[in-house]
Amino acid sequence: MTDWMRKVLESKRATRDRLRALPFAEKLKLLEKLRERSLWIAKSHLRTRKPPKV
Amino acid sequence: MKATLQVINQMQADGVIGKYAIGGAVGATYYLEPSATQDVDVFVALTSRPGVPLLSLAPIYEYLTARGHKIEREHLIIEGWPVQFLPPSGPLEEEALEQAVETEVEGTVTWVITAEHLAAMALKTGRAKDFARLLQFVEAGALDATSLNLILEKHRLHEKWQEFELKFLRRDQP
């Protein structure tokens, strides 16, 4: 594993730890934001557009 | 979410439901980092009605729709969140509901299923997303081994745990 990749993984782990340590109410607010975003993405015309015929 | 919980608490205070506890991805969020979910799973003890021998979700639907909450497929939309009410489907879920932990969301009391019960329920259900959540619990060190072992033994899930361990946790495989 390269140093760069190791740093990326460490950073991801640190972010997960930080999020995990948040109070439940804060985590629920983040869940609401995540849900809003996923609904917005699902509604996007890019998502619902039919793929071109090959 | 706070408003959703307040509606459920009021329904409990009005005697429509008994004890309830949040499970699924929202319940797991109590112990882990938040991960996207579309709905809230609420395990609920149903209260019997005089003259009605069978326990049913109908009183919940009647109570909530009478107060303007809409039904969308298997969900009731409560203050913006689709909520699925689930009666315990067996002894594991009954125990999970009994032993749920009390917590607060901005001053609103609620209950969440323990990490070990959530893990056991994920193991029992056994879909890909359940195994993914189980892995999150293990990686986060969020499970108490003694407590989990007792639950696995009591509900005969040891074999399933060994399969999970072999498939996902063994470090010496290629």
We report the CATH number of the domain holding residue B74 as: 3.30.460
Is the separation of the CB atoms in B110 and B12 below 8 Å? no
Cα four-point dihedral sign B123, B159, B148, B174: negative
Cβ within 8 Å, pair A35-B1: no
B7-19 pLDDT per residue, tens? 999 999 999 999 9
B15-70 pLDDT per residue, tens? 999 999 999 999 999 999 998 898 999 999 987 766 666 678 899 999 999 999 99
Q: Does B1 touch chain A (CB under 8 A)?
A: yes
Q: What is the DSSP string of A1-54?
A: --HHHHHHHHHHHHHHHHHHTS-HHHHHHHHHHHHHHHHHHHH-HHHHSPPPP-
Please name the member of B38, B105, B140 whose beta carbon is closest to the beta carbon of A24.
Answer: B105
Q: Does B67 touch chain A (CB under 8 A)?
A: no
Q: Which domain holds residue B104?
A: 2-113
**B29 falls within a domain:** yes
How many domains are contained in chain B?
2
B155-171 pLDDT per residue, tens? 999 999 999 999 988 76
| Confidence band, pLDDT 50/70/90 cuts, at residue B146 | very high
Cβ within 8 Å, pair A32-B1: yes
Please state the pTM of the whole predicted model.
0.88
Query: Does one domain contain both B92 and B127?
Result: no
| Confidence band, pLDDT 50/70/90 cuts, at residue A40 | confident
Cβ within 8 Å, pair B106-A25: yes
Query: Does one domain contain both B109 and B133?
Result: no
- Helix, strand or coil, per DSSP, at residue B81: strand
Phi and psi of B36, rounded to 5°?
Answer: -55, 135
**B48 falls within a domain:** yes
Query: Does one domain contain both B59 and B104?
Result: yes
Cβ within 8 Å, pair A31-B32: no
According to the model, what pLDDT value does residue B120 have? 97
Phi and psi of B86, rounded to 5°?
Answer: -125, 115
Please name the member of B33, B103, B106 whose beta carbon is closest to the beta carbon of A16.
Answer: B33
Is the separation of the CB atoms in B34 and A30 below 8 Å? yes
According to the model, what pLDDT value does residue B171 have? 65
Gap from B22 CA to chain A (nearest CA, Å): 12
Gap from B87 CA to chain A (nearest CA, Å): 23
**B142 falls within a domain:** yes
Domain boundaries along the sequence of chain A: 23-54
Query: Does one domain contain both B95 and B126?
Result: no
Gap from B105 CA to chain A (nearest CA, Å): 5
A3-39 pLDDT per residue, tens? 999 999 999 999 999 999 999 999 999 999 999 888 8
According to the model, what pLDDT value does residue B53 have? 63
Query: Does one domain contain both B72 and B127?
Result: no
B82-115 pLDDT per residue, tens? 999 999 999 999 999 999 999 999 999 999 999 9
Query: Does one domain contain both B88 and B138?
Result: no
Q: Rounded CA gap, A12 and B119, in Å?
A: 23
